[in-house]
Amino acid sequence: MLNFNYYNPTRIIFGKDTISETGAHSARYGKKVLLHFGGGSIMKNGVYDQVMSSLSKAGLEVVALGGVVPNPRLSLVREGIAVCKRENIDLILAVGGGSVIDSAKAIAFGALLPDTQDVWDDYYMQADYEIREALPLGVVLTIPAAGSESSTGSVVTNEAKGLKRAVNSETIIPRFAIMDPQTNYTLPAYQTACGASDILAHLMERYFTVVKHNDLSDRLLESAMRNVVANAPWALRQPSEYRWRAELMWTGTIAHNNLLDKGRIGDWASHDIEHELSAAYDIAHGAGLAIVFPAWMKYVYKTDIDRFVQYATRVWDVSLPLDDKESVVMAGIERLEAFYRALGLPVRLTDAGLGAGNLDKMAKQALIVYPSLGNFQKLGADDIEKILRLAQ
């Protein structure tokens, strides 16, 4: 177990009809709120009205900025930063899923940057940066997936350059997150499935480490993975059943609030490779992960086959004899692929209708900021291209 420093002050307000508390929690941070959201879904399902009503009851002034799209765009981030500066915003309230929250995080720290600094060039495109301050950020979560509601991270896409990049900082951890699983009842099945895939990926990426002796976090991660595997299919079968939605929503937070990987270093290569896929093809992040992850596993498992044996036996209940570790590992990967397929997700590039044309270009582009990806096994451009070919 490595030394670590853990801090996560997000207040989670979880459960039925909690959106009515939005105003009271927001009012602790000032008078003027930037309400940041995506498209029309929160208009249709009533969440927008519930939020506005609660903010209004708390006497808050609201400036609305909608239009966030999946793989949230730098151009809207820049617009939000300008609005915050012009309107003297006190608090940003992100209403939506990971894309909305990530966009809001970029605005939150971008709004306090001096004019000599640029949110993209000086932060997202740097390997070495330190975000010193940010406007306070609150969340009303409507899609369980990214875990951004209590994480340090923000991923933004520069649509002009076709680049998708991440920053991390304690300063952009949301101050509060209001999570009502009932808001998920109207999510399309495919979006529910993509969310489950993203949650599972966050857990797997933390799980595959070369750091030894992390027994507790191994077990907690395995538990959370088994929870996704058990509950996601039921959320698809019974989309308006509270308990499945509640399990996925809470697991999505736990999977990414950085508690479950203390003492270890995860491997985020699959996420990074997927970012290239979704930047190039604009496919859903969770679908891209279902394509990349099994291929990544097949490429790297020999680095520590015992870790993959533990994964196959403890997460997927593979019970083949341990004197044939390869078969145990492959059976685990097969069960992962079967799980993705059962959720209606693609597991090959061809399943998603994607060709093989850009694989070498994507592989090179993944390495613009860092010289290699991953920690479980360091990957160069050649490795990444091979993984993408395994995903065909």
Give residues in contact with its own copies (CB under 8 A): 1-16, 18, 213, 215-216, 219-220, 222-224, 226-227, 230-231, 242-243, 246-247, 250-251, 254, 259, 262-263
CB of 132 to its own copies, least distance (A): 16
Residue 9 vs 188, nearer CB to its own copies: 9
Burial of 40 (0-12, 13-18, 19+ CB in 10 A): exposed
Burial class (CB in 10 A: 0-12, 13-18, 19+), 175: middle
Taking the complex as a whole, the smallest distance from the CB of residue 196 to its own copies amounts, in Å, to 13
Q: Are strands 176-179 and 153-158 parallel, antiparallel or unpaired?
A: unpaired
Q: Which is closer to its own copies, CB of 247 or CB of 385?
A: 247
Longest CA–CA span in the chain (Å) reads 67
Pick 17 or 115: Cβ nearer its own copies: 17
How far, in Å, CA of 312 to CA of 333, rounded?
A: 7
Q: How far is the CB of 18 from its own copies (least distance, A)?
A: 7
Q: Closest separation between CB of residue 247 and its own copies, Å? A: 5
- Measured from the CB atom, the residue of 246 and 329 that comes closer to its own copies is 246
Which residue lies nearer to its own copies by CB, 175 or 325?
175
Q: Given phi > 0 = left and psi -120 to 50 = alpha, else beta, which region is 71?
A: left
**Distance in Å, CB of 269 to its own copies, minimum:** 26
Helices (H), 282-372: 285-300, 305-316, 325-342, 359-365
Q: CB of 291 within 8 A of CB of 389?
A: no
Nearest distance in Å: CB 378, its own copies? 24
| Site of tokens 């896409």 | 157
Cβ proximity to its own copies, 25 vs 164, nearer residue: 25
Q: How many CB atoms lie within 10 A of CB 58?
A: 17
